[in-house]
Amino acid sequence: MSLTSSLGRLEARGAYSADGVVSKRWGQLLRETETLDKFLEAGAISGRLVPLREIAELRGGVVTRANAYFIVREIPFDAMPARFSLTRRDLQSITVVLDGNDMPFRMERRFLRPILKGPDTLLTPTSYHSGDERLLVITESKSQLRTAGASGAIAYLRQGETIPYSASEDSLKGGIPAERANIRTRRPYWYSLVLPESSTGRIVVPEHFNRRYIATLLSPGDDAVVIDKLYVINSRRQEYTNTLHASLNALLTWYQIELRGRTQLGEGVLEAKVPDWNGILVLNPANASAAARGKLADAFRPLSRLAESDSIESASSVERIAYDQLYLKFCGSAHPESLRLEIERDLRAAIAERTDRKVSVVDAKSDRRRSVRATASVDAYAARIAAGLSPYPDPREFLPVDVATWPVPIVGRVVGPIEIGSDFFDQGAVLSSGQTIAHAGDILSAQFVQAVLTHDPELVQVDVPAESALASLMVDWRNEVQAWRARFSVVSQDVIHLLADDRLKGAVLRQALSLLHAV
């Protein structure tokens, strides 16, 4: 398919759905083959395939804002300092941990939870390795801790209120944790972390990929905490969790991740954001019979225990071929054998493309004096800025677990800058390029909707917290935005000081803000 004909598909009905959700991103429109395009479209029309957003909820991992303090390492018994005077029997309820400053502390086990941090911790589709790292999770007040005799937890909280933690070279990430702007305003206590729970079993997927694709299912009773840079997918119905898990580990899903993901970091790494994941088409469990779901589970079972370092190299194994052909059959393919071969071939080509792109820019990175086109310079320098920063703060990260919310429908498509109505007749309205896309009722709620859409413009509904919690939440978010802007200023100045043209500097900053979802 030529570039011209691919661009023409932007005008086709179905590229943008009526509710304003982009069903296909540019990368998918330009790179997917005609065969796969027709197959996915036919599957969606027939109801055999469904976007992930319709059957599951996806959210990012927990953000501590001070990993050096909240994430500790548990020490083996033989390495515990003698001054703690612990016996092996004591280890049932007490242990010794090291903080980010390598200081040992006595700690009650009930305040420590295993963590999943990064793709390397996901070993197989059904197992993970958390190592010796633990997350400090304390929900009680200090008075309650004293009453319970939790001396270890009390001492560690005092440490967080008096000792600076500067484990990173970034000066903005140092200081006393309890006094940081994005931590001290937490409720009910500065050490409170929002840990979403799920009763349907959590599926953990990475944000970044190289040559390994994996989705790991955690059992409903697993208390491990998923940390940022990993996503958690919760099926909306418990009986569909296993089918969804198997779908996310299918070759067809891998290829869609490759098509919809983003490669602008220039390091050969694929980045899949929330909108990218939400638009992936998976087998619709509601339209699959119980017998079909059972056959799919039987075919996937041998793969659920395999640990792979390179998914694409194992795509041709006997078990993998049998599973993927059965999956494509249930998805509506009349010729699953040939379709599977085409998907594997195109997936290999897509991986090779981004790997070669990384090699092709090595010389440009090592020789900054080489003259390049202005547009290429803008993208390259903006990507360097974006690589050194976390995305623009999302106000939804500050939502307490039990806060009441009310829905604000998004009735239009975000096609430009998002603004808040300031006139008498449109106060509380949210506008994009002069067109009203939502009615939030009041200015503060409209600001919340604006902030969420800035981070995730493809949403069709924004859940706004109740008035009693909204004001403090927005204060927390604005403090985080202020800190983020300061970090952006430091990182961007380290990059654009190499440029002499002020117009080019401005273009780089605008592009970097766009990559970070800050405009």
Find the helix packing angle between 467-496 and 443-455, rounded to 10°: 40
Predicted confidence at residue 128, as pLDDT, reads 94
Q: Specify whether the CB–CB gap between 393 and 477 falls below 8 A.
A: yes
For 197, counting Cβ atoms within 10 Å of its Cβ (0-12 exposed, 13-18 middle, 19+ buried), the class is exposed
Strand partners, 114: 134
519 residues of the chain, pLDDT tens digit each: 555 555 555 555 445 454 556 677 666 776 778 888 899 999 999 999 999 999 999 999 999 999 999 999 999 999 999 999 999 999 999 999 999 888 999 999 999 999 999 898 999 999 999 889 999 999 999 999 999 999 999 999 999 999 999 766 666 677 899 999 889 999 999 999 988 877 778 999 999 998 999 999 998 889 999 998 899 999 999 999 999 999 999 999 999 999 998 886 657 889 999 999 999 999 999 999 999 999 999 999 999 999 888 898 889 899 999 999 999 999 999 999 999 999 999 999 888 888 776 655 555 544 444 444 445 568 778 888 887 788 788 888 888 777 888 888 888 877 777 888 766 667 778 888 778 888 888 888 888 888 888 877 778 888 888 887 888 888 888 888 888 888 888 888 877 776 767 778 888 888 888 877 776
Whole-number Å distance between alpha carbons of 459 and 391: 17
Helix (H) or strand (E) holding 477: helix 467-496
Residue 23 has a CB neighbour count (10 Å cut-off) of 17
Q: For residue 205, what are its two tokens?
A: 């997927």
Q: Specify whether the CB–CB gap between 82 and 98 falls below 8 A.
A: no
Predicted confidence at residue 385, as pLDDT, reads 83
Q: Specify whether the CB–CB gap between 59 and 196 falls below 8 A.
A: yes
Whole-number Å distance between alpha carbons of 74 and 95: 7
Q: For residue 67, what are its two tokens?
A: 């990993």
Helix (H) or strand (E) holding 96: strand 94-98
DSSP helix, strand, coil percent of the chain (3-state; round to 5): 45, 15, 35
Predicted confidence at residue 371, as pLDDT, reads 42
Predicted confidence at residue 366, as pLDDT, reads 46
Cα–Cα–Cα angle for 262, 266, 2, nearest 5°? 60
- SS3 sequence, 396-430? HHHCCCCCCEEEEECCCCCCCCEEECCCCCCCCEE
Residue 401 has a CB neighbour count (10 Å cut-off) of 9
Predicted confidence at residue 370, as pLDDT, reads 43
Q: For residue 405, what are its two tokens?
A: 């919310």
Predicted confidence at residue 473, as pLDDT, reads 84
Helix (H) or strand (E) holding 113: strand 112-116
DSSP state of 22: B
Predicted confidence at residue 389, as pLDDT, reads 80
